[in-house]
Amino acid sequence: MTPTRPATSFARRWAALSAQRGGLCLGVAPSPVWLDRWGLADTAESVRRYGDVLLDAAGDSVSAYKVQVPFYLRHGAAGMAALRRFRDGVHERGALVLLDAKIGDAEDTMAAYADLYLGPQSQLGGDAVTACAFMGAATLHPLLRIAQDRDAAVFTLVRTSNHGAGEVQGSRTPEGHSTAQAIADALTGWHTAHCGTPEPGPAAAVVGARLPESAQLVRRLPHSVLEIPGLGRADRRTEEVLAPVRDAADRAMLTVTTGVLRHGPAPAALRTGIQWWHEEIARHR
C-alpha cells in the first residue's frame, strides 16, 4: 500500500466517523490468553488470522481500533508484518488505528518514536499512539508537534483504569493538584499555545478514572479527543463510563475489548457482540 497523507486532522476524522458509525472503538489484544481461548496457537500466523477474523466481523461498523502493540511485536518481524496487514485492513474499511504502545522517553527520542508509530510515513502507520508523561509533560512536546504536522494524535495517559493507577496518578503536586490533573492541564496548555483554535487537536487523552474523578478530568480537557476505557469490565457500569462524556460525544472514543472478544472466534457471534455494544451505548446516551 502506498502511504498517503491524511486529508484532515485526526480529530476531524474521528468526529466524522463517530457521527456516522458511532463512538465505539474495538480493543485488539492477540495475547497468548486470547489466542488460546479462540483455539489458536501462539504464533505470528495466528495473530494474523486473529486480525483477519476481527476485521471480517466488524466490517465498516467500527470507527476505530485500539491495538495492543506488544502482542504483535513479541513475534518479531512476522508480528510487525501482521500488524501492518491489520492496519491496512482497518484503513481499507475507513476506520482509524490507535497504537497502544504507551511510549515515554526523553525529548531527543520522540522523533524516532514518531517514525516508528505515527502517520503513513512511519514504520507502523498508526493514526494515533498512546504515550505516558512519567518523565515530564514537556518530553511529549516534540511528539505532539510531529503529530500535528502529520495530522495524527497522541493519546497521553492522564488517568488509567487499572486498579493500581491511583498510587501514582492520584499523588499530589506542590500546588495540590493530582498528577492526573496536572497532566490534563499540561495538555490543554499545549493546545492553547500551539493550535490557535478551540477545535480539538493532536493532544488527545486517555481518561479511565471512575466518577467523580473522570468528570473532573474531562472538564479539564476541552480540546482533546478522549479515549474512555472501561466498557465491558465487571466493575464498571455503562452509565458510569459514559456519564462524563455525554456532552462531548463527538470527542469520546469508547473502547470495549473483553466485552466483544469473548464472543469469538465465530465472526457472526463477534458481529452480534459489536452490535449489542452499539445499542448499549445508544441506550445510555
Catalytic residue among 102, 150, 191, 251: 102
Helix axes 44-58, 76-92, angle to 10 degrees: 10
Cα–Cα distance for residue pair 26/64, rounded to 1 Å = 6
66 catalytic? Reply is no
Strand intervals (E) in 57-150: 64-68, 96-103, 128-131
Given a contact cutoff of 8 angstroms between Cβ atoms, the answer to whether 46 and 30 are in contact is yes
Tell me if residue 268 falls in helix, strand or coil: helix
Characterize the bridge pairing of strands 203-207 and 226-231.
Answer: parallel
Given a contact cutoff of 8 angstroms between Cβ atoms, the answer to whether 99 and 129 are in contact is yes
- Count how many residues are written for the chain: 285
Rg (CA), the chain: 18
Nearest alpha carbon to residue 85 among 47, 122, 128, 114? 47
Given a contact cutoff of 8 angstroms between Cβ atoms, the answer to whether 224 and 251 are in contact is yes
Characterize the bridge pairing of strands 203-207 and 64-68.
Answer: unpaired
The residues that are catalytic are 102
